[in-house]
Amino acid sequence: MPANYNNSAWFYDRLSRMVYGRALINAQVYLLQYVPANAVVLIAGGGTGWILEELTKIHPSGLQITYVEVAADMMALSKKRNTGSNKVTFINDAVENVTPDTKFDVVITPFLFDNFTEQTTEKVFNHLHNLLKPGGLWLNADFQLTGKWWQNVLLRSMFLFFKILCNIEASKLPDVDRQFGVHGYKTIEERTFFGDFIISKVYK
């Protein structure tokens, strides 16, 4: 059975705010400043969709957004978001199954890869890489371990919690940096949050 975030849709944001305060939001809002005006944007695994409202605060119009979310309950919440005059296409499917006819100026993966094993990460990464225009930007936010004991404790608790509730396949963080390196991406900006446990990177 694949992972399913439906069970957590109704409390996901409240729980993440309880544990991390605004850190998960700040990590993603930091990345959104790099989305150029009138860009064609892919958001993969947007959760309850608050990121759409944050993006709309920066660009109230002109964007063409494809919003892909595999959990139907997350998608239902996302569709209620204010997206201004931007054009948004909602696709309720796993992003690796989605083959749009356009390529994207920007791909956003907010806490997506931490769900996956190395094998799935590689597959999803390759798929997204092929959807990004040459010279496009890839905005990625995720957890990282920098040697602080509490990071391991928090990470293990999260994996256990989401394994029981949502059946996620991961039990350790995949090496996403390696994927970016293998595919020739360079980090052009980065910032850490929540005592370095969260890292947001702009890749080109």
Ligand X SMILES: C[S@@+](CC[C@H](N)C(=O)[O-])C[C@H]1O[C@@H](n2cnc3c(N)ncnc32)[C@H](O)[C@@H]1O
Which residues of this chain interact with ligand X, rule CB under 6 A? 3, 5, 24, 44-47, 68-71, 74, 94-96, 110-112, 115
Distances (CA, A) of 45 to 108, 112, 117, 188: 9, 6, 16, 23
Pick between residue 47 and residue 136 the one whose CB is nearest to ligand X: 47
The type of residue at 10 is W
The least distance separating ligand X from the CB of residue 155, rounded to whole angstroms, comes to 12
Question: And the tokens for 157?
Answer: 């608790």
Pick between residue 38 and residue 100 the one whose CB is nearest to ligand X: 100
Answer for the pair 90, 79: CB distance below 8 angstroms, yes or no: yes
Answer for the pair 67, 49: CB distance below 8 angstroms, yes or no: yes
CA–CA distance, 106 with 138 (Å, rounded to integer): 6
The least distance separating ligand X from the CB of residue 149, rounded to whole angstroms, comes to 23
The least distance separating ligand X from the CB of residue 42, rounded to whole angstroms, comes to 11
Pick between residue 14 and residue 37 the one whose CB is nearest to ligand X: 14
The least distance separating ligand X from the CB of residue 43, rounded to whole angstroms, comes to 8
